[in-house]
Structure formats: C-alpha cells, structure tokens
Amino acid sequence: EAGVAQSPRYKIIEKRQSVAFWCNPISGHATLYWYQQILGQGPKLLIQFQNNGVVDDSQLPKDRFSAERLKGVDSTLKIQPAKLEDSAVYLCASSLLANTGELFFGEGSRLTVL
C-alpha cells in the first residue's frame, strides 16, 4: 500500500514570495491533515479535511495560508506572501477514521524563507 506522498521535499524562497505544497493521501482515507512543525517543536495542526470539507482550520493563518482538497483526494497548501516565521516542515497526514484512527504521515515538505 502506497503511503502519503508529498512534494516538493525542499523549498527555499524569499520573504513575500509564494509557495505551494501538494499532498496525496493513502487511498481510501477520507480525512486529511496539514501540520506545521517548527524546528524543535511538535507538529501543530493547520487544517483538517473530511472528504473535501473543512473540519477544523482554527489555527490556520488565513491572511496568508490557504488550503483546498478538490474531489476529496489530494490537497494543496499555499502560503502567500511568506514570512520568515513560516520556515518549517509542512507535514501532510491522512487517516481512515476521523475520530479514533491513527494518522499516517508523509515525509514532509521543508520550507526555508530567507
């Protein structure tokens, strides 16, 4: 069974530029998550989708971050314009069950903002 796929693995941009990350979850997993992991910290949830609807985006900085999950499968996370403090690893995860199931994570996309 293929795991969660993410791209790109690494991205370096200058502040005020834009960037987009892509995620393809495990086949059949209805729930998809985007987490931000700043160096030395635990992952923090940015947004959770159930199929193509948003369940929780309370910690998503909506003035600069956006995410979509068209057709309830793959997802894109966009940052525009980027700030220095957005430097982090962006992890995508999926789960079969929204409430009790374990999350399966991709390898992440490491963003460096200069």
Ramachandran region, residue 107 (left: φ > 0; alpha: ψ -120 to 50; beta: rest): alpha
Distance from first CA to last CA of the chain, Å, rounded? 37
Q: How many residues in total does the chain contain? A: 114
CB of 79 to other proteins, least distance (A): 19
Among 23, 93, 111, 113, binds other proteins (CB under 8 A): 93
Residue 42 touching other proteins (CB under 8 A):
yes
Q: Toward other proteins, which CB reaches closer, 28 or 42?
A: 42
Among 41, 53, 63, 71, binds other proteins (CB under 8 A): 41
Local structure of 72: helix, strand or coil = helix
Q: Toward other proteins, which CB reaches closer, 27 or 41?
A: 41
Q: What is the DSSP string of 3-22?
A: --EEE-SEEEE-TT--EEEE
The one segment of 13-21, 60-68, 80-88, 104-112 that binds other proteins by CB under 8 A: 104-112
Amino acid symbol at 37: Q
The two tokens of residue 85 are 């403090």
- Which parts of this chain interact with other proteins (CB under 8 A)? 3, 33, 40-45, 48, 56, 89, 91, 93, 98-100, 102-108, 110
